[in-house]
Structure 1
Amino acid sequence: MNARRILYPAIAAIGISALGAYAYFAQRQPQGPSEQTAAPQAGAAKSGGGTTSPVSVDATQVSTARLIDDINAVGSIRSNEAVVIRPEVSGRIAKLNFSDGQQVKKGQLLIAFDSTVNQAEVQQAKAELGIARANFERTVDLAKQKFISERARDESQANVQVLEAKLALAEARLSKLEIRAPFSGIVGIRTVSVGDYVKDGTDLVNLEDISSVKVDFRVPERYVDQVQKGQGIEVLVDALPGRPFRARVDAIDPQVDSSGRSALLRGRIDNPEGKLKPGMFARVRLILAERDNAMVVPEEAIVPQGNKVTVWKVVDGKATRTEVKTGLRRAAKVEIVEGLQPGDTVVTAGQIRLSKDGTPVRIAQMSGPDGKPVSVSTAPAPKS
């Protein structure tokens, strides 16, 4: 039993040593003629093929599209005209000449206060003025006949003027007891009733003119020089989804907000149906400029190079790096302002394999203006 324990490991060690020696001598044997020449030929093929075979790339043609240079902002809907009706004097309400939410016209009587005392004051002032005028006429006749002095006539005339002013004051106080609509619009919900005693300055009801509405919004200060009166605005309100409203820039605040570094703009929207209400949240799209035939390429075609923006342009089957000037970016498309012409072919994939200008390329897949692949054979030939 002990002999077996010693014998088996010894046999295993001898076998492992024999296999290692065989492998060592097999590796040191000289290669055959075919094996000796295979490696150099492969290296030669590799070095030669890298300079002659074209690089496979994807490409597309420079197309034209309609681009809109715009700014997105948020704002609020405001009435064309809005006012809170407040009395100028204290008094008791005697009449409410409107219903909540009613359409009223300019000059229409809205609220009347108790005016019995003021009417009596007006009547008293008229009576006093009538007596004063009669006395003045008599003093004028007497003065012509030299029965009274000129001073007496002047005092009588001054008394008439004083009483005329007293009458005007009484009539002004009486007029303050009637509140009329300053413009045509819709009254809101009143907060008072007939018989209430209110003090001057108390809020009674709001009046809103919404035949047209304003939309106020802010834009960053860097766009201030690009904004002009009359530019188009597209307004969307969450309360009326899927219904855009057209407007125009009506006013630009000359002062830039120092805290937010933004400028306040106001647009005007016709609202004949009254769908837009003051206070609504608005999403505003301000259109700065529109270009109908702007050159565009896919974003994948742009290759930054330091401070430059370049693309690989394919001419006569060879790729050339071309510097371009870009503009807007919209929907994965980049506007090309300078450097290319409509119809030029640019590389969209495989630029990493292009090392220098003049590298031969093979277009594996050509994309159309809509981004969908088209057959290379049916695609228009690249411009030279």
Structure 2
Amino acid sequence: MKKRLGISIVALAAVGGVIWVYGPEIREMFTPNAAGTTKVATAQQGSAQAPIPVDIRTVAIGAVRQQIEAIGSLRSDESVVLRPEISGRVSEILFEEGQPVKRGAPLLRLDAAIARAQVNQARASIILSRANFSRAKELATRGAGTQRTLDEALAKLSTDEATLALAQATLDKSTLQAPFDGILGLRQVSIGDYVNPGQAIANIESVEQLKVDFRIPEIHAQVIAAGQAIRVRLDAFPNANFDGRVYAIDPAIDPNGRAVILRARLPNADKKLRPGMFARVTLIVEERPNAVLIPETALMPMGRDIFAFRVVDGKAVQTKLRTGLRRAGEVEILEGLKAGDSVVAEGAQKLRDGQYVRESKLASGS
């Protein structure tokens, strides 16, 4: 007990000595100055206000666009398989496979001997019918003929005229003509073949410009419209892009894939693109060339709101934002910032509103 008492007396003596020696300095540190603050508080405040190093970026202006990716196929602007409307034996083939052809050019003829004979027969019959009708009409005018005879002559003339028209149509259909300007495909018949109505002869394709058919999920139905631009990439031309424009949208949703079918036109003046090619399509829904952009890393989601720290006079000011479209690593700002503002791009997580910040040496050096 006496030992503990002695130790306590020694400790109190040591504390008293420290106070006696450093008393004035201690009293000065805790004595308020004219501003009402002590040296201890001032030191703590200075430590708290030391600028925090962060990556500071300037708000930029750039182009952004909303786009939808899809896949599709190239189609001919016009495409048809030539097929005869009558049966017959092929007598002439007037085209070369794979060659261009003009609209109305004869491509194939069937043996028309029978059709030609039927035309001649109808013409001979119609000559007699016209003579009989003229005679019956003259007699009726004189009152020497009956009205019935005149009616029968007129009916026979009309029947022979119809027979001639039918025979002439059959003769005309023995020659197949190109329905439009295009390039002929591979023929499926040879001279001497007997063909039936509807049998495939050859395909003809119009490829001065092509169509692109592609599908967009129905969730985007409200943002698509005729006139929107597309950019097409093809496996056959991996280093090239081809621009076109949507001109038609199917009014019905495809129930199998719940998608909207769009059709666009694609120029093909050099004819290097071919129908049937697989296409990777980018539909450009909206494009804004003067968008306000900041790095995505500057955003700080808080509940349903999004904030960023704007740097004003060396201080980080928490600012609420309204964002728009995005592109690689950047986001469009619709409200809250303007071009030329400075924002904290990295390091915002360690900041509080109103803290002093400075440019990080690491960020400025990079």
Letter in 2 for 1:58: D
**Equivalent in 251, 254, 275 of residue 254 of structure 1:** 251
Q: Which structure 2 residues correspond to residues 238-249 of structure 1 after superposition, within 5 A?
A: 238-249=235-246
**Deviation of the 1:138 alpha carbon:** 1.4
1:290 to 1:366, Cα distance in 2 relative to 1, 3 A: farther
Moved more, 218-227 or 114-123: 218-227
- Preserved CA contact (<8 Å) 1:54 1:359: yes
**Deviation of the 1:66 alpha carbon:** 2.0
**Equivalent in 145, 149, 152 of residue 148 of structure 1:** 145
Q: Which structure 2 residues correspond to residues 3-18 of structure 1 after superposition, within 5 A?
A: none
Q: Deviation per CA, 1:13-39: give whole Å up to 9, x if none.
A: xxxxxxxxxxxxxxxx98x98xx99xx
Task: Give me the whole-angstrom Cα distance separating, in 1, the residues matched to 2:292 and 2:361.
Answer: 21
**Deviation of the 1:348 alpha carbon:** 2.0
Task: Give me the whole-angstrom Cα distance separating, in 2, the residues matched to 1:274 and 1:348.
Answer: 49
Task: Give me the whole-angstrom Cα distance separating, in 2, the residues matched to 1:286 and 1:102.
Answer: 34
- Preserved CA contact (<8 Å) 2:53 2:358: yes
2:364 is the counterpart of 1:362: no
1:366 to 1:143, Cα distance in 2 relative to 1, 3 A: farther
Residue 103 (structure 2) aligns with: 106
**Equivalent in 87, 91, 98 of residue 90 of structure 1:** 87
- Preserved CA contact (<8 Å) 2:221 2:260: yes
- Preserved CA contact (<8 Å) 1:234 1:246: yes
Q: Which structure 2 residues correspond to residues 19-58 of structure 1 after superposition, within 5 A?
A: 51-58=48-55
Q: Which structure 2 residues correspond to residues 277-356 of structure 1 after superposition, within 5 A?
A: 277-354=274-351, 356=352
Kindly report the root-mean-square deviation, in angstroms, between the aligned alpha carbons of the 2 structures.
Answer: 2.6
Q: Deviation per CA, 1:24-70: give whole Å up to 9, x if none.
A: xxxxx98x98xx99xxxxxx899767634333322212111122332
**Deviation of the 1:207 alpha carbon:** 0.5
Q: Deviation per CA, 1:167-210: give whole Å up to 9, x if none.
A: 11111222221111111111100011000112211111000011
Instruction: Give unmatched runs, 5+ long, in structure 1.
Output: 1-28, 38-43, 368-372, 376-384
**Deviation of the 1:276 alpha carbon:** 0.9
Q: Deviation per CA, 1:265-306: give whole Å up to 9, x if none.
A: 221122121111100112222222322221111111011111
2:215 is the counterpart of 1:207: no
1:141 to 1:352, Cα distance in 2 relative to 1, 3 A: closer
Q: Deviation per CA, 1:315-351: give whole Å up to 9, x if none.
A: 2222222110111221211111111111222112222
Task: Give me the whole-angstrom Cα distance separating, in 2, the residues matched to 1:92 and 1:342.
Answer: 77
2:290 is the counterpart of 1:276: no
Task: Give me the whole-angstrom Cα distance separating, in 1, the residues matched to 2:262 and 2:252.
Answer: 11
Q: Deviation per CA, 1:80-112: give whole Å up to 9, x if none.
A: 100011111221111111011111111111111
1:137 to 1:374, Cα distance in 2 relative to 1, 3 A: same
Aligned residue-pair number: 334
Task: Give me the whole-angstrom Cα distance separating, in 2, the residues matched to 1:374 and 1:68.
Answer: 32
Moved more, 253-262 or 77-86: 253-262
Residue 129 (structure 1) aligns with: 126
Q: Which structure 2 residues correspond to residues 167-178 of structure 1 after superposition, within 5 A?
A: 167-178=164-175
Residue 118 (structure 1) aligns with: 115
- Indicate the percent of aligned positions where both proteins have the same amino acid: 45
Residue 220 (structure 2) aligns with: 223
**Equivalent in 195, 198, 207 of residue 198 of structure 1:** 195
Letter in 1 for 2:123: K
Instruction: Give unmatched runs, 5+ long, in structure 2.
Output: 1-9, 20-39
Residue 73 (structure 1) aligns with: 70
Is the partner of 2:150 in helix, strand or coil? helix
Residue 233 (structure 2) aligns with: 236
Task: Give me the whole-angstrom Cα distance separating, in 2, the residues matched to 1:344 and 1:53.
Answer: 23
Letter in 1 for 2:304: N
Task: Give me the whole-angstrom Cα distance separating, in 1, the residues matched to 2:356 and 2:240.
Answer: 53
- Preserved CA contact (<8 Å) 1:217 1:264: yes
Is the partner of 2:356 in helix, strand or coil? strand
Residue 6 (structure 2) aligns with: none
- Preserved CA contact (<8 Å) 1:255 1:263: yes
- Preserved CA contact (<8 Å) 1:80 1:212: yes
When the two structures are superposed, what TM-score results if normalisation uses the length of structure 1? 0.80
